[in-house]
Structure 1
Amino acid sequence: MPLDTHGHPVIDITVPYYHDKANHLLAEQWLAQAGDLVPIPPFALPRLDRRSYSVRIRRAAVLDVVIENQYSDATLGSTGGSHGHIADRVVTHFTLRGSWRFRTEREDIPVGPGRLCVRKNDLPWDFEVEHGTHAIMLSLPIRELRLPARTTALGADMSSPPARLLLAHVRTCLELGGSDAATTRNATIELFQGLVDGQVGDDPQLHPALVRAAKGLIETRLLVDPGLSPKTIAAALNVSLRTLHRAFSGEQISVMGYVRERRLERARSELMSTTWTVSEIAARWNFADSSHFTKAFKRTFGVNPARQGASRGE
């Protein structure tokens, strides 16, 4: 199966609408690219005289949490219920462009740009996708969630603080490398529950999940962002700087204190496993100079980094 630069599976298929066996070609290519990892939902392409149908999906799985960055042209299909397609899941679509439409015998839910839809997928849903639709899909195990009684679906505006925070976290998950999978998975579920419960971004009940989301983001940007700061972290998570600092107030460490701690831990590991000099590692982990790095390292680990590096050959 094709992979992106982060090792996540990718589906990238284009078939002509007007081909007599368009649906067969689509299913054949989907199976060849995705196998059983991304099951194809029962859907069919409309018969159009022009244009081709394209579908692109980038998929990341964090234990039993699944996230997909989806692009699709016009199509119709069904999912959940007796179709057996991820029926034990709660599925959320964040529509960025275009629109989805989900229907059951009792419900008809349009999900245009800037809207999200949460659905229990143990019901049979028919869906319709508009041409050029881009969405982020989040799939969670239904057993882990608390949904309102007798609720099968929820629609909401993506501009609410809980929705913005969850979407920012989910997008970060698509870029995660070696972060703690269990922590990331649990943060996703907590942030989703915050969305369903209608909590706002600075609700103290949401702080543990916000801290986990912030830590996951920090892990992905330790190397690539020398300007990493509480302001940039808060902006990436779509929360206020005040909310971020309040969330960390119960951690016995500040936001930048955590960043420095993780950088020092990474630096210590590299001192013991590489031939890089203290100056090179200090620059690599965005310390002002080797003097500042040496002081911080000795204060944290009780040993001079030069001595730590020398120990790798012992």
Structure 2
Amino acid sequence: MLIEKVFRSNDVPSADRFEVWRKRLGRDVSPLGCGGDQGVGFRAETRLLRLAGSRVWSTAVDSATIRRTPELARWADCEVYTLILPLCGGVEVAQAGQEAVHGPFDMHVLDSSQPFDLRLRGSPSVQLIGADVPKVRFPLPASWMDQFLTRRLPGREGVGALLSGFLLQLTHESGGPYRSSDGPRLEGALLELLTALFAPHVDSVDSSAPNSARRALVGQIQTFIRQHLQNPQLTPSAIAAAHHISVSYLHRVFQGESITVASCIREQRLAHARRDLVDPMLRETPIHVIASRWGFTRASDFSRAFRNAYGMSPMDYRHHACARHELTGDEPRRFTRE
């Protein structure tokens, strides 16, 4: 699936441009607080591409401040890491106790689960490319990510230059030669480049870890699980067969982890379903369709597992997310019931 949405401030009456742009961000990307020059003549152009589970967007916008408040981080979390690639202008960023100033091609990562301030400064405008990647697909373990938030990742050399080039070409060619069926393949390429970008950091953090062979196998299995979450036949037996090991050995391999194989599958499926429930672009998708998409063949099993994990039913969670989105000034949207 590849979906493109475009916003141009020139299509909106001049006096309404900032407010319309702010609401559009809340609907299409994530609920955010925004500030900036709200006077006549505000300019912004944003292009959004959905590549299966990830999103890639580009924007050219007048100087503005984007904030994710603690309230929004708690109640409207899309559970993604966002890689930001500035092209023109500067970005002042603060998150997780870290502050940094980045210029063109200084890539950096933000966490949707934590508050942040992002100040865009440029003349005549700031140009950015962003990639929102679900945490469950990000190549670096969540327990290591805080040390990389806001940190400069060079986008003009090595793998960073390859990733920058891919994002530039993807956003430049949007609306052009790509087909809907290209979405998953383009997302796969994005994930491969992110994996290559972070590989040296993973090696440096994990260089002293014991039993590297076991950890390598665990990594392979976790990747396999991420790639096959939508298959309802994904079970420990299927995973063991795919890796030519016994089921009992599979469970022994995971004894050093903080989660069982079955729990790993269930939690990742629930995390994807939870993200889809609050995705503004999927608000009209029935809940049972979302459940089926992520491997839950019975709606009752999905509802029970979701309630156990998050303390409320999927329908209630979706309705709460809708109410929280109103914090950004969005108009309420109709949801399809189960």
TM-score by length of 1: 0.51
SS at match of 1:162: helix
1:8 aligns with 2:4: yes
The CA distance in 2 between the partners of 1:40 and 1:56, in whole Å, is: 18
Deviation at 1:137, TM superposition (A): 0.7
Which structure dedicates a bigger proportion of its chain to helix? 2
1:155 aligns with 2:157: no
Corresponding residue of 2:126 = 133
Contact 1:11 1:57 in 2 (8 A): yes
- Superposition pairs of residues 256-295 of structure 1, within 5 angstroms: none
The CA distance in 2 between the partners of 1:144 and 1:80, in whole Å, is: 25
Corresponding residue of 1:260 = none
The CA distance in 2 between the partners of 1:30 and 1:89, in whole Å, is: 20
Corresponding residue of 1:184 = 186
Contact 1:80 1:87 in 2 (8 A): no
1:64 aligns with 2:64: no
Match of 1:120 among 100, 111, 115: 111
Contact 1:60 1:66 in 2 (8 A): yes
Shift in alpha-carbon separation, 1:47–1:12, aligned structure 2, 3 A: closer
Contact 2:139 2:194 in 1 (8 A): no
Corresponding residue of 2:167 = 170
The CA distance in 2 between the partners of 1:27 and 1:130, in whole Å, is: 19
Q: Structure 1, residues 239-297: CA drift from partner, whole Å, max 9, x if none?
A: xxxxxxxxxxxxxxxxxxxxxxxxxxxxxxxxxxxxxxxxxxxxxxxxxxxxxxxxxxx
Q: Quick one: which amino acid aligns to residue 188 of structure 1? A: L
The CA distance in 1 between the partners of 2:103 and 2:43, in whole Å, is: 19
Q: Structure 1, residues 126-184: CA drift from partner, whole Å, max 9, x if none?
A: 11111311111111001112336242513122112211111222234333234533222
Shift in alpha-carbon separation, 1:52–1:86, aligned structure 2, 3 A: farther
The CA distance in 2 between the partners of 1:35 and 1:126, in whole Å, is: 16
Which has the larger Rg?
1
TM-score by length of 2: 0.48
Deviation at 1:36, TM superposition (A): 3.0
Corresponding residue of 2:82 = 91
The CA distance in 1 between the partners of 2:181 and 2:139, in whole Å, is: 26
Shift in alpha-carbon separation, 1:42–1:180, aligned structure 2, 3 A: same
Deviation at 1:116, TM superposition (A): 0.9
Contact 2:155 2:163 in 1 (8 A): no
The CA distance in 2 between the partners of 1:142 and 1:80, in whole Å, is: 19
Corresponding residue of 1:206 = none
Contact 1:45 1:74 in 2 (8 A): yes
SS at match of 1:57: strand
Aligned residues: 186
Match of 2:91 among 89, 94, 100: 100
Deviation at 1:14, TM superposition (A): 5.8
The CA distance in 2 between the partners of 1:126 and 1:34, in whole Å, is: 15
Deviation at 1:104, TM superposition (A): 3.0
Deviation at 1:25, TM superposition (A): 5.3
The CA distance in 1 between the partners of 2:121 and 2:167, in whole Å, is: 23
Q: Quick one: which amino acid aligns to residue 147 of structure 1? A: L
The CA distance in 2 between the partners of 1:121 and 1:137, in whole Å, is: 13
- Superposition pairs of residues 233-312 of structure 1, within 5 angstroms: none
Unaligned ranges ≥5, structure 2: 202-338
Contact 2:139 2:191 in 1 (8 A): no
Contact 2:18 2:42 in 1 (8 A): no
SS at match of 1:68: strand
Contact 1:27 1:40 in 2 (8 A): no
Higher relative contact order at CA 8 Å, sep ≥6: structure 1 or structure 2? 2
Corresponding residue of 2:301 = none
Match of 1:196 among 187, 195, 198: 198
The CA distance in 2 between the partners of 1:95 and 1:137, in whole Å, is: 8
Deviation at 1:79, TM superposition (A): 2.3
CA RMSD of aligned residues (A): 3.2
